[in-house]
């Protein structure tokens, strides 16, 4: 097996102008890697990595993995690919049923084909806890099954995992697959925190909360997410390495709403619930991942769920609210 303690790695980050991707780019640049980013900027923002591009530390390709020529150009000469490009919003995929198929599965297949043809052997993939569906075992370990996602986003992540492991078995690739808890932090562009802040900007007296507010999940800071990805990449060396990344605690949606209201300095905000045990079709009401496997390699998150949420609210409020 190849060794992973590599400095100045020539690496590609797909979706590198996005939320998690741009934070990963920050980390890769800071450790001296040669970084190329491909992003179609459908949800990513060039300003997140503009400084790195201007300094010459990042090469940027505005392209789409659905275009095989773009994929081939992007992987050329790379030693590793960090694959984060995807539809970032579960609810958007539910409303547009082919989005996750194209951006999750087809784009991943195109990337893998480009890697095979270009003899690029290492891929690090951003998967999700939603591949587990409504798991009956909580905390949920990596070997839980059968995997039955209930959202199209989850199906696309599981399909992409399947293609990645198949390419490892068929063509000798090596993979690191990370199943994330809910990731929050600066530059967040979607999710419950962004949703709440945007709603309160329109009406600071009332906040609509999808479902009954009892949906309870683990939240991971984006800094911990990136740290966990790189830690596993550096310390795990099987042909296929699958890890959960999350915290060992959780928080419910009503508590997140309370934190948002507190951090925005608002008073007397009325919470209005839409009802039901989930926020939208395909929402998993309860999620907590077992992180014993990645923990055995010496990694643990620096922030618990509530701390991660509060830090994220402060950051996102500054970006969306204009202070807070």
Identify which of 152, 61, 160, 42 has the alpha carbon closest to the alpha carbon of residue 111. 160
pLDDT in tens, 250-273: 999 999 999 999 999 999 999 999
Q: Is residue 4, in this structure, part of any structural domain at all?
A: no
Segment 68-97 shows an average pLDDT of 87
Same domain, 261 and 113: no
Residue 294 belongs to some domain of the structure: no
Do 104 and 197 have their domain in common? no
Shared domain for 237 and 279, answered yes or no, is no
Give residue 4's pLDDT.
45
Examine the domain organization and report whether 101 and 236 are in the same domain. Answer: yes
> Do both 84 and 224 map to the same domain?
yes
Residue 221: burial class (beta carbons within 10 Å; 0-12, 13-18, 19+): buried
Taking the CA atoms of the chain, what radius of gyration do you get in angstroms? 19
DSSP character at residue 146: S
**Which CATH number fits the domain that encloses residue 109?**
3.40.50.720
Q: Is the pLDDT of residue 201 over 90?
A: yes
DSSP assigned state of 309: H
Taking all residues of the chain, what is their mean pLDDT, rounded to a whole number? 94
In a domain, 298, yes or no: no
Looking at residue 274, what is its pLDDT? 95
User: What residue numbers bound the domain in which 49 lies?
Assistant: 10-183+220-245
- Residue 206 backbone phi and psi in degrees, to 5: -145, 140
Residue 37 pLDDT > 80, yes or no? yes
User: Do 94 and 230 have their domain in common?
Assistant: yes
* 3 within domain boundaries: no
Using one digit for the tens of pLDDT, what is the confidence trace for 282-313?
899 999 999 999 999 999 999 999 999 999 99
Two tokens, residue 168: 């490892």
Do 116 and 156 fall into the same domain? Answer: yes
Res 1: pLDDT: 37
Max CA separation in the chain (angstroms): 60
Q: Name the strand (E) or helix (H) holding 80.
A: strand 80-83
Nearest to 123 by CA among 103, 108, 139: 108
Instruction: Count other Cβ atoms within 10 Å, centred on residue 270.
Output: 9
Identify the band that residue 190 occupies on the pLDDT scale cut at 50, 70 and 90.
confident
What CATH number should be reported for the domain holding residue 264?
A: 3.90.25.10
- Using pLDDT thresholds of 50, 70 and 90, give the confidence band for residue 101: very high
Quote the number of domains for the chain: 2
> Model confidence over 228-238: pLDDT tens digits?
999 999 999 99
Please, are residues 79 and 11 in contact by the beta-carbon 8 Å criterion? yes
* CB environment 259-268: b (16+ within 10 A), e (fewer): bbbebbeeee
Distance CA 312, CA 309 (A): 5
- Which pLDDT score, from 0 to 100, does residue 280 have? 83
Mark whether 283 and 157 lie in a shared domain. Answer: no
Within-domain flag for 293: no
| Nearest CA among 194, 321, 212, 183 for reference residue 272 | 212
Is it the case that residue 173 has pLDDT exceeding 60?
yes
Kindly state whether residues 81 and 166 are assigned to the same domain: yes
Average pLDDT over residues 201-208: 96
- Whether 6 has a pLDDT exceeding 80, the answer reads no
Q: Is the dihedral of CA 60, 61, 64, 65 positive or negative?
A: negative
33 is a domain residue: yes
175 belongs to a structural domain: yes
Structure confidence at residue 90 (pLDDT): 66
Q: What is the DSSP string of 239-298?
A: SEEEEEE--S--EEHHHHHHHHHHHHT--SPEEEE--SSSSSTT--SEE-B--HHHHTTT
Q: What is the pLDDT of residue 3?
A: 41
**For range 208-229, the mean pLDDT:** 97
How far apart CA 284 and CA 267 sit, in angstroms, is 30
Report percent pLDDT > 90 for the chain: 90
Residue 292 belongs to a domain: no
Residues 6+ apart with CB under 8 A from 149: 130, 131, 132, 133, 155, 157, 158
Same domain? For 232 and 83 the reply is yes
Q: Which of 132, 144, 153, 178 is flagged as catalytic? A: 153
In terms of domains, do 126 and 240 share one? yes
Q: Do 105 and 213 have their domain in common?
A: no
For residues 184-209, average pLDDT: 95
Q: What is the pLDDT of residue 36?
A: 98
Active site residue 153: yes
């Amino acid at each position: 097996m190849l060794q992973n303690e590599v400095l100045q790695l020539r690496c590609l980050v797909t979706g590198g102008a996005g939320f998690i991707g741009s934070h990963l780019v920050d980390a890769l640049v800071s450790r001296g890697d040669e970084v190329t980013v491909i992003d179609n900027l459908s949800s990513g923002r060039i300003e997140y990595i503009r400084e790195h591009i201007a300094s010459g530390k990042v090469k940027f390709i505005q392209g789409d993995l659905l275009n095989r020529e773009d994929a081939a150009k992007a992987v050329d000469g790379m030693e590793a690919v960090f694959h984060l490009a995807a539809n970032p919003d579960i609810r958007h995929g539910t409303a547009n049923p082919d989005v996750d198929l194209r951006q999750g599965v087809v784009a991943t297949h195109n990337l893998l084909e480009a890697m095979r043809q270009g003899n690029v052997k290492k891929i690090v993939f951003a998967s999700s806890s939603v591949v587990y569906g409504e798991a009956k075992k909580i905390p949920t370990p990596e070997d839980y099954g059968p995997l039955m996602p209930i959202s199209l986003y989850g199906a696309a992540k599981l399909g992409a995992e399947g293609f990645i492991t198949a390419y490892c078995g068929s063509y000798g690739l090596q993979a690191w697959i990370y199943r994330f808890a809910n990731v929050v932090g600066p530059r967040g562009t979607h999710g419950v925190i962004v949703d709440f802040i945007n709603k309160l900007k329109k009406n600071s007296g009332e906040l609509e909360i999808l479902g009954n507010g009892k949906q309870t999940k683990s939240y991971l800071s984006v800094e911990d997410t990136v740290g966990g990805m790189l830690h596993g990449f550096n310390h795990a060396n099987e042909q296929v390495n699958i890890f959960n990344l999350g915290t060992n605690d959780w928080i419910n949606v009503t508590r997140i709403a309370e934190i948002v209201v507190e951090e925005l300095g608002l008073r007397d905000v009325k919470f209005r619930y839409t009802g039901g045990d989930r926020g939208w079709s395909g929402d998993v009401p309860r999620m907590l991942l077992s992180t014993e496997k990645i923990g055995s390699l010496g990694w643990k998150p620096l922030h618990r769920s509530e701390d991660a949420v509060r830090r994220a609210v402060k950051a996102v409020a500054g970006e969306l609210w204009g202070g807070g």
